[in-house]
């Protein structure tokens, strides 16, 4: 098992996250519509807070969980990182201290680093009734119709209704109930 907090403990590695494409504003509009009461978000695998630092004001608390102190320190120093609604929590999503229920749980480009047999049941149990787990990922692609025009980021998001959906993650099925 890779100790991710150790892998990304270097501040230089955390600084490189600044070169990742930001999430489009429309992603946050979708997340706002998906959220239920309480207007509290768990952003698991938060890194430098690419999601946590940009949640709309309608959310009252954002628990940003990540295994790297360097990433959290970088996130706190970035614009929006000092928002008093954000509780930066050092730890793995599998065992960090949480304060459920959550009206929305987000995982942005980090679920593949987590142990699904542990974290998915934990997310299910932390969700408020009717709440969603939103999995967001970034892909860098080449636009086929226009040839190579530099890097273009395509965002996709998929939401899972925990009360009705069976989700497979890394081959491990998990039943979500909010």
Instruction: List alpha helices for 62-153, DSSP H.
Output: 69-77, 116-126
**How many residues are present in the chain?**
178
Please give the DSSP secondary-structure letter assigned to residue 8.
T
Q: Helix or strand or coil: residue 141?
A: strand
Q: How high is the pLDDT of residue 57?
A: 96
Task: Answer for the pair 127, 97: CB distance below 8 angstroms, yes or no.
Answer: no
Query: Is 155's pLDDT higher than 50?
Result: no
Residue ranges and CATH numbers for the domains of the chain are: 4-175 (3.40.50.150)
Query: Is 107's pLDDT higher than 80?
Result: yes
For residue range 55-87, what is the model confidence (pLDDT) as tens digits? Answer: 999 999 999 999 999 999 999 999 999 999 999
The reported pTM is 0.76
Percentage of the residues of the chain whose pLDDT score is greater than 70? 70
Query: Is 121's pLDDT higher than 90?
Result: yes
| Residue 84 neighbours by CB distance under 10 Å | 6
How far apart (Å, rounded) are the C-alpha atoms in residues 138 and 157? 9
How far apart (Å, rounded) are the C-alpha atoms in residues 130 and 103? 8
Query: Is 3's pLDDT higher than 80?
Result: no
| Residue 76 neighbours by CB distance under 10 Å | 17
Give the pLDDT band of residue 91 (cuts 50, 70, 90): very high
Lookup: tokens for 98: 């949480």
Q: How high is the pLDDT of residue 108?
A: 87
Q: How high is the pLDDT of residue 8?
A: 64
What is the pLDDT averaged over residues 29-43?
A: 96
């Amino acid at each position: 098992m890779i100790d991710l907090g150790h892998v990304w403990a270097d501040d230089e590695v955390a600084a490189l996250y600044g070169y990742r494409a930001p999430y489009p504003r429309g992603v946050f509009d979708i997340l706002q519509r998906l959220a239920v009461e309480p207007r509290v978000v768990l952003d698991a695998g938060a890194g430098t807070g690419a999601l946590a630092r940009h949640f709309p004001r309608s959310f009252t608390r954002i628990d940003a969980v990540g295994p790297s102190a360097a990433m959290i320190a970088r996130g706190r120093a970035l614009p929006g990182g000092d928002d008093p609604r954000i509780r930066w929590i050092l730890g793995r999503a599998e065992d960090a201290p949480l304060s459920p229920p959550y009206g929305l749980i987000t995982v942005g480009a980090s679920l593949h680093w987590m142990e699904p047999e542990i974290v998915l049941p934990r997310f299910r149990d932390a969700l408020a009734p009717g709440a969603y787990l939103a999995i967001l990922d970034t892909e860098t692609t080449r636009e086929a119709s226009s040839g190579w025009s530099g890097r273009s980021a395509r965002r996709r998001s998929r939401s899972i209704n925990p009360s009705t959906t069976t989700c497979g993650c890394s081959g491990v099925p998990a039943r979500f109930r909010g």
